[in-house]
Structure 1
Amino acid sequence: MDKVFIVDGHCDSIGYLSSQTRTLLLPSEGGHWDVPRAKSADISLQFMAAFIESKFKPSLATLRGLELIETAQRFVEENPDQLFLIKNQSDLNQIPDPTRIGVLLSVEGGEIIGENLFMLDIIYRLGVRALGLTWNQRNALGDGVWERETKSRLTNLGQDVIRRMNQLGMLIDVSHLNENGFWHVLELSEYPIAATHSCAYSLCPNSRNLTDSQLRALGEHKGIVGVNFNPGFLKENGPVTRKDVVRHISYIAEVAGVETVGLGSDFDGIEETPDGLENVSDLSYLLDDLTKAGFSTKEIEQISGRNFMRLLSGVLK
Structure 2
Amino acid sequence: MIIVDAHCDTITKIMEKGTQLRKNDCHVDIDRLKAKGNYVQFFAAFIDPAYCQAYALKRALQIIDEFYRQIEVNKDDIMICCNYNDIEEAVKANKIAAVLSIEGGEALQGDLGVLRMLYRLGVRSICLTWNHRNEIADGVKDESSGGGLTPFGREVVKEMNRLGMLIDLSHISKTGFWDVLECTSAPVIVSHSNAQRLCAHRRNLTDKQIMAVKDNGGVIGINLYPEFLNNSKEATIKDIINHIEYIASLAGPDHIGLGADFDGVDGLPAGINGVQDIEKIFNELAKLNYSSENIEKFAGKNFLRVIQNVL
Deviation at 1:88, TM superposition (A): 2.6
Deviation at 1:41, TM superposition (A): 2.4
Cα distance in 2 for partners of 1:308, 1:16 equals 24
RMSD: 1.2
Deviation at 1:293, TM superposition (A): 2.4
For 1:132-151, what aligned pairs fall within 5 Å after superposition? 132-151=127-146
16-25 vs 218-227, which moves further: 16-25
Cα distance in 2 for partners of 1:98, 1:295 equals 30
Q: Alpha-carbon deviations, 1:281-307, whole Å to 9, x = none?
A: 001111101112231100000000100
* Residue 111 of structure 2 corresponds to residue 127 of structure 1: no
For 1:45-64, what aligned pairs fall within 5 Å after superposition? 45-64=40-59
Whether contact under 8 Å (2:104, 2:127) holds in the other structure is yes
Cα distance in 1 for partners of 2:38, 2:223 equals 16
Cα distance in 2 for partners of 1:139, 1:243 equals 36
Given the alignment, which residue of 101, 108, 114 partners 1:113? Answer: 108
1:153 counterpart SS class: coil
Q: Percent identity?
A: 40
Q: Alpha-carbon deviations, 1:114-165, whole Å to 9, x = none?
A: 0111100010010000000000000000000001211112001000000000
Deviation at 1:40, TM superposition (A): 1.8
* Residue 256 of structure 2 corresponds to residue 261 of structure 1: yes
* Residue 137 of structure 2 corresponds to residue 159 of structure 1: no
1:124 counterpart SS class: helix
Which residue identity is paired with 1:11?
Answer: C
Q: Alpha-carbon deviations, 1:73-108, whole Å to 9, x = none?
A: 121122111111111342133253352100000000
2:111 counterpart SS class: coil
Cα distance in 1 for partners of 2:136, 2:20 equals 33
Given the alignment, which residue of 192, 212, 219 partners 1:217? Answer: 212
Given the alignment, which residue of 273, 293, 313 partners 2:288? Answer: 293
TM-score (norm: length of structure 1): 0.95
2:6 corresponds in structure 1 to 9
Deviation at 1:238, TM superposition (A): 6.8
Equivalent pairs, count? 311
- The runs of 5 or more residues in structure 1 that have no matched partner are none
Q: Name the CA shift for 1:89/1:288 in 2 (closer, same or farther; >3 Å).
A: closer
Cα distance in 2 for partners of 1:272, 1:238 equals 7
Cα distance in 1 for partners of 2:211, 2:251 equals 5
1:94 counterpart SS class: helix
Which residue identity is paired with 1:169?
Answer: G
TM-score (norm: length of structure 2): 0.97
Which residue identity is paired with 1:47?
Answer: F
Q: Name the CA shift for 1:169/1:238 in 2 (closer, same or farther; >3 Å).
A: closer
Q: Name the CA shift for 1:95/1:307 in 2 (closer, same or farther; >3 Å).
A: farther
1:45 counterpart SS class: strand
2:234 corresponds in structure 1 to 239
- The runs of 5 or more residues in structure 2 that have no matched partner are none
2:193 corresponds in structure 1 to 198
265-274 vs 86-95, which moves further: 86-95
Whether contact under 8 Å (2:226, 2:232) holds in the other structure is no
1:303 corresponds in structure 2 to 298
Which residue identity is paired with 2:12?
Answer: G
Whether contact under 8 Å (1:41, 1:282) holds in the other structure is no
1:307 counterpart SS class: helix
Cα distance in 1 for partners of 2:92, 2:226 equals 32
2:45 counterpart SS class: strand
Deviation at 1:52, TM superposition (A): 1.0
Whether contact under 8 Å (1:105, 1:127) holds in the other structure is yes
2:41 counterpart SS class: strand
1:18 corresponds in structure 2 to 15
Whether contact under 8 Å (2:199, 2:230) holds in the other structure is yes
Cα distance in 1 for partners of 2:300, 2:220 equals 12
For 1:149-188, what aligned pairs fall within 5 Å after superposition? 149-188=144-183
Q: Alpha-carbon deviations, 1:35-66, whole Å to 9, x = none?
A: 11112223521000000111111111110011
Cα distance in 1 for partners of 2:90, 2:71 equals 16
2:65 corresponds in structure 1 to 70
Given the alignment, which residue of 244, 253, 264 partners 1:249? Answer: 244
Cα distance in 2 for partners of 1:238, 1:84 equals 35
2:191 counterpart SS class: strand
Cα distance in 2 for partners of 1:256, 1:180 equals 21
